[in-house]
């Protein structure tokens, strides 16, 4: 290990006994790497493999250069200044968390996320370059999405696309095993609605043309269809559990 790399490893509180130096000058790290909230404008070391979680959140980074090619745990780059995902590891063992920032594009995202995918609270206008398979939750709330083009066809857990600019359910997942939250959009009809939702549907500030009974004619829903106006949650099905407005 070169002295320069050793100095950086020690400066950022990494355990040098967990470092393996590669011939190309990059390092492998056999543990978690936490570089969060360190006022970094660049990732200071070229990583190749990290067996644990790699966290660079809450830094003024505008590039993911020097990120590892493989992360065994989570890859966390939320609350940074990046505008795309170019440089994200090609393979991630758990979740990709990239929300809360000026992110505009999912370009560079791996096609498979074994656990959760969080890209909420950004400026994303399209899911086009997003993952095609997510084993856990897919959360893209509070962005600038005008369509769901690029969303996976099947979700093994929740799919949440609330607080966007959607006007249609076109390209929504066909089957969602968990929760479906499509609240705070401007979708006037249930055309292209998912065929099956394993848990419940949340639909805050829905248009009056859409009712629970109508949704259930096109979608097999495991539990409830919740609507909300103000702070009151209700449903209009056969088994209401909240007072109707």
Using the Cα atoms of residue 124, residue 84, residue 134 and residue 77 in order, give the sign of their dihedral: negative
106 or 235, which is more confident: 106
8 A C-beta contact, residue 221 and residue 201: yes
Mind listing the pLDDT tens digit for each residue in 100-139? 999 999 999 999 999 999 999 999 999 999 999 999 999 9
Task: Please name every residue paired with 227 in a beta bridge, in sequence order, or none if there are none.
Answer: 203, 234
User: In Å, how far from its chain's centre is CA 199?
Assistant: 19
Mind listing the pLDDT tens digit for each residue in 128-158? 999 999 999 999 999 999 999 999 999 999 9
Give the strand order in the sheet containing 154-155.
154-155, 175-176, 196-197, 220-221
Q: DSSP label at 18? A: G
Which tokens is 73 given? 């745990």
Residue 242: its pLDDT value, please? 44
Give the strand order in the sheet containing 201-204.
33-34, 54-55, 75-76, 96-97, 117-118, 138-139, 159-160, 180-181, 201-204, 225-229, 232-234
Residue 236: its pLDDT value, please? 53
- pTM of the shown model: 0.91
8 A C-beta contact, residue 218 and residue 197: no
8 A C-beta contact, residue 204 and residue 184: yes
Residue 239: its pLDDT value, please? 45
Residue 5: its pLDDT value, please? 81
Residue 234: its pLDDT value, please? 52
Dist CA 140 CA 123 (whole Å):
10
Mind listing the pLDDT tens digit for each residue in 74-97? 999 999 999 999 999 999 999 999
Residue 209: its pLDDT value, please? 83
Residue 20: its pLDDT value, please? 95
Give the chain's length.
245
pLDDT-derived band at 228 (thresholds 50, 70, 90) equals low
Residue 68: its pLDDT value, please? 98
Mind listing the pLDDT tens digit for each residue in 22-73? 999 999 999 999 999 999 999 999 999 999 999 999 999 999 999 999 999 9
Dist CA 158 CA 200 (whole Å):
10
Region 198-226: what's the mean pLDDT? Answer: 90
**Per-residue CA distances from 79 to 69, 99, 145, 172 (Å):** 21, 7, 19, 27
Residue 91: its pLDDT value, please? 98
Region 152-176: what's the mean pLDDT? Answer: 97
């Amino acid at each position: 290990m070169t002295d320069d790399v050793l100095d950086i490893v020690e400066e950022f509180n990494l355990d040098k006994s967990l470092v393996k130096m590669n011939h190309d000058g990059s390092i492998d790290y056999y543990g978690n790497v936490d570089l969060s909230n360190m006022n970094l404008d660049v990732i200071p070391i070229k990583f190749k493999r990290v067996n644990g979680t790699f966290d660079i959140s809450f830094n003024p980074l505008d590039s993911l250069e020097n990120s590892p090619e493989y992360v065994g745990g989570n890859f966390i780059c939320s609350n940074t200044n990046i505008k795309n995902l170019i440089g994200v590891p090609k393979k991630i063992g758990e979740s990709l968390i990239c929300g809360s920032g000026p992110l505009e594009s999912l370009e560079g995202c791996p096609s498979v996320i074994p656990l959760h995918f969080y890209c909420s609270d950004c400026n994303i206008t399209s899911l086009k370059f997003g993952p095609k398979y997510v084993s856990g939750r897919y959360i893209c709330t509070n962005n600038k999405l005008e369509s769901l083009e690029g969303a996976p066809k099947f979700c093994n857990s929740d799919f949440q696309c609330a607080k966007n600019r959607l006007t249609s359910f076109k390209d929504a997942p066909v089957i969602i095993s968990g929760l479906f939250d499509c609240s705070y959009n401007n979708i006037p009809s249930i055309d292209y609605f998912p065929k099956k939702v394993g848990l419940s549907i949340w639909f805050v500030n829905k248009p009056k043309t859409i009712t629970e009974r109508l949704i259930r004619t096109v979608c097999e829903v495991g539990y409830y269809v919740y609507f909300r106006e103000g702070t009151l949650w209700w449903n209009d099905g056969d088994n209401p559990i909240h007072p109707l407005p």
